[in-house]
Amino acid sequence: MTKQLGRRAFHSLSLGVAMGMGGALLRPAPARAELPKPKGDVILSITGRITRTNATDAAEFDRDMLEAMGMASFTTKTPWYPNPVTFEGVPARAVMEAVGAQGTTVTAVALNDYSTEIPIADFTRYNVLFALKRDGSYMPVRDKGPIFVVYPYDTDPILHSRSYYGRSAWQVTRLVIS
Amino acid sequence: MLAKKGKARATPRRRLAIIRALLVVLVAGFATTSVYVSTLIVQRNEALQQTSRYNTSFTIGQAALEIARLQTMLASYALRPGQMEEEQVRLWHDIVAGRIPVLESGDVGEFILADPRREAVLRDFKVVLRASEAMLPQLSEPGVAMRMVQLWARLNVPLTRLTSAAHGEGGNQVTGDLRELSRLHWNFSYLLIGMIVASFGLIVMLGWNNQLLSRAYADVQKLLRDLRVASSDLEDAHARLGRAMLESQSQNAVLRRRDIELNTQNTRFDAALTNMSQALCMGDGDQRVIVCNSRFLALFGVSREVTEANTPIEELFRAMEERGAFGISALRRVEEAQRQWVRERGAGSLTVEDENGRALALSHRPMPDGGWVATYEDVTAQRSAERRIRFLALHDALTSLPNRTLFREALEKALTRQEAGILPALLCLDLDNFKIVNDTMGHPTGDALLTAVADRLSACVRQDDIVARLGGDEFAVLLADASLEDTLALARRITELLGRPYQIEGRHVVTGVSIGIALADRPDMTADMLHQNADMALYRAKAAGRGTWRVFAAEMEAEVQARLAIELDLREAMARQELELFYQPQIDLKSGRLVGCEALMRWRHPVRGLVPPNRFIPIAEDLGLITAMGEWALHRACADAAKWDTEVKVAVNLSPVQFMTGDVVPVVSDALRQSGLSPSRLELEITESVLLQDNQATLTTLQALRRLGVRIALDDFGTGYSSLGYLRHYPFDKIKIDRSFVMEIGTRPDCAAIVDSIASLASRLGMITTAEGVETEEQMRLVKEAGCTEGQGYYFGQPLPLKEMTLLLYPGASAVGGA
């Protein structure tokens, strides 16, 4: 029930983008629309300095497209859950490669408009995940879904700090590369 | 002196021990400090961790913010209800709901649950959320949205208070952390001061230590200097002694080396002498032996005593003659030659051969002191091998006759002696049927036949004439001086002698020979021309039916050229489908009915037109094409005959080659099966030459063909070897009397008698007789009277193409030829 609600919500959120695409039909098609079009609901939209798109100046992904990039997982302690949890999702590095990210910083924007800046260097230094699942189940909006940016906090003591907790945005639906 | 030094050094050693102890204490102090510093750093890290604790007030503030956003969404829905707004309300419910676990977990959770009043706010939050969610389904009803706004508004004040409390708590935490950091800072400072003081102590001690060590070093240096002076005196004396020893040693070594070299040389010289393959003898200026090697003793069979040093050379030779390893005359020649070279102080070599064919090679060299050295070698084997090699190079290995190379030399030599009325003649010979013998009876038989032919051929010629085998079954005879009559007489003799049957390994083998003759009747005749002419004449002889000879005449050349052209075209004829079958009717003489027809091969050449079989069949046999052509004819004839709806038989000729080398039985049964022709309608015609070889295989093949149900006719009977024995041995259905008898039956009584006897013999044996070449009514009548059962010839009908033959087979066919 909750999941469905969430989905419908994304659908309406992506309306703006869809309208933008409608406008694009009148203009010549973008030269480098190399990414396939999403078939399901769009859960992540990436804009900014990217070289590969599938909409006007944006790369949009449904859950299947993200999962097709290859899933990774780790188990870690977090300040948000009493026990260690297992996150499963797409390595952030893979998503950056997929869209041909050119910048150095990603601004992750959450549903509640919380936004945080993450250096792209983090994605290679730490195996940062765009987590879709927690302990084997997809995360609904009520549990920090659809996407939760998580670090493997237990691999480096420095990650258990306010700075990295701050970068760990949840309910993320948009990324802006700059 | 050393003892005194020892006493003096006792004090510094004790001091050094004290310093060492102090250093150990200091190092231990540093180690302790390090451990403590490390503990302090851990503490400091923990303090820093405390300051980086999650920002509680921000998290709670976010909750207040999200609830405010939810209220805004509800309010905007109340103002303007719509699908999009409703979805926004639901989404923000989810977001707000998601905040609750955040507030319950981690530092925020600790903070909230620490105070019952704060816990109450969280409980109220959950209550409001549940109530609001319960109202969601009725959202579209008027007033519900506003009621939800009011519901949520209840939380605004408590949450703001909670945020403020968190903010205050955060401040307290920061102050505590700063105090802790400051305490750590002071601890570090004290420690550093302590370490600086300890380091100063270390420097002072090291300085003291250094001073003690340099004093000890100076003492040792002095002692060393004294020792060095004493030892350099000793070294000088030692060096002088060493030099003297080295000198005497090197003198000794030189002597020893010379001794060894001399020994080695002696041994080598001895080994060389003993092991050399030639016999060696060395003599001095007084003609006495210096040394002889063991090979010498073995070669000449002389005893060791006569070769002792100082034996006169003359005595040595007498002993050699006595032993008789080589003939006396040869040894005398050697002695004589050596005496001559000794007198002249010259060198030389010589090979002598004795009356038994033993050969001795000698090489003599003078030495500066008037002596000499000579080597001797038995070269008998070498010489005979050389002779054998020369023989093999110039003779045929099988027959030992001169080969092409030697024959060519002889021919050229003969041609240079042409003047003075001497007229060389060349005969080129080629065996008939040799290929068949070779293929059917095996190569060993073929080889034996060639050897037998070579023997007979050699027996035919004079001493001066040369017989050669040029390769395969080609032979040649060169008559050094011969008239045309002599040459023809020889050719006749050869044809007759070589044509006689051979008995090889108990088997009866028959072959014949064709001879081409060319005379060197022009002064400018070269060996090549003569050979070419003889070859052309040979072609003619073969074309004339083999077993005969021809003399070259100028016009033959054109003919040979024509034959070569036909050969070239014939190779292509099968592939170009230029071959055809014509059918000649065979008539029953009593009833005049058409009973069969003989299939005859024709070659429709694109330029020459229709070529008759006698022009191309022999060539096809020579070229080895006959097997494939015969097979084609068999298939064609069977296929044609199968289409005729009559009992008329079809006769097909089998070439001897095809019969003996080919797998004729499977080929025939294959042709019958493919065409569907009844075997009894197929007649195979074979010539007598098939039967020439006394061969069990021939009989087996004929019987196998008979078992297929096929009829067999003996073709051209009366020509060639015509043995009535064949008729008894082999299973024939029909005898075809050669046209030569039929043609002269009216004019020559002997011919009539032959036809008559063949026909009556055949009828007694239950065979049919066919007269071939019947051209006139007269001939037809005579052969009928003679008892022939069937006839074939222009009188009855010439060979016809398939289409005309087919016409003939239908109504009115029996009246053909007016018989």
Helices (H) and strands (E) in chain B, counts: 27, 22
**Interface list for A 88-117 with B (CB within 8 A):** 111-112, 114
> Are A81 and B102 a contacting pair at CB < 8 A?
no
Beta bridge partners of A147: A172
CB of A83 less than 8 A from some CB of B:
no
Per-residue model confidence (pLDDT) at position B662 = 61
Ramachandran sector of residue B287 (left: φ over 0; alpha: ψ -120 to 50; beta: rest): left
Tokens of B675: 């065409």
pLDDT at B604 over 80: yes
Q: Which residues of B708-734 are buried (b: 16+ CB within 10 A; e: fewer)?
A: eebbbbbbbbbbbeeeeebbeebebeb
Give chain B's mean pLDDT.
85
- Residue B388, pLDDT > 90, answer no
What pLDDT is attached to residue B56? 80
Which residues does chain B have within 8 Å of residue A140's beta carbon, measured at their own beta carbons? 94
What is the rounded distance in angstroms from the CA atom of residue A160 to the CA atom of residue B339? 120
- Chain B neighbours among A 21-80 (CB < 8 Å)? 78-80
Range with lowest mean pLDDT among B51-65, B227-241, B406-420, B459-473: B51-65
Q: Among candidates B676, B688, B743, B692, which has minimal Cα distance to B713?
A: B688
Nearest to B52 among A6, A9, A162 (CB): A162
Q: Label residue B400 left, alpha or beta by phi (over 0 means left) and psi (-120 to 50 means alpha).
A: left
pLDDT at position A12 is 39
pLDDT band at B453 (very low <50, low <70, confident <90, very high): very high
Over residues B320-352, the pLDDT tens digits come to 989 888 888 899 999 999 999 999 988 999 999
Question: A153 CB near a chain B CB, below 8 Å?
Answer: no
CB A149 within 8 A of CB A128: yes
- From residue B793, how far is each of A55, B77, B743, B784 by CA, in Å? 101, 125, 10, 14
Chain A residues closer than 8 Å to B134 by CB: none
Q: Is the pLDDT of residue B769 over 50?
A: yes
According to DSSP, the β-strands at B711-717 and B682-686 are parallel
Global pTM value = 0.39
pLDDT in tens, B68-117: 888 888 888 888 888 888 888 888 888 888 888 888 877 788 888 888 88
Size of interface A-B (CB pairs under 8 A): 63
C-alpha distance from B151 to closest chain A C-alpha (Å): 20
Interface check for A171 against chain B (CB to CB < 8 A): the answer is yes
Percentages helix, strand, coil for chain A (3-state, rounded to 5) are: 35, 30, 35
Low-confidence ranges of chain A (pLDDT < 50): 1-33
Summarised one tens digit per residue, pLDDT across range B178-199 is 787 788 788 888 888 888 888 8
Please report the pLDDT score of residue A29 as a whole number.
38
Q: How far apart are CA B348 and CA B365, in angstroms?
A: 7
> Do residue B87 and residue A140 have CB atoms under 8 angstroms apart?
no
Of B69, B87, B101, the CB nearest to A9: B87
**Closest-CA distance of chain A to residue B34, Å:** 23
Chain B residues in contact with A162 by the CB 8 A cut-off are 52-55
Chain-centre distance for alpha carbon A140: 14
Which positions 84-103 of B are in contact with A (Cβ < 8 Å)? 84, 87-88, 90-91, 94-95, 97-98, 101-102
pLDDT at residue A28 in the model: 38
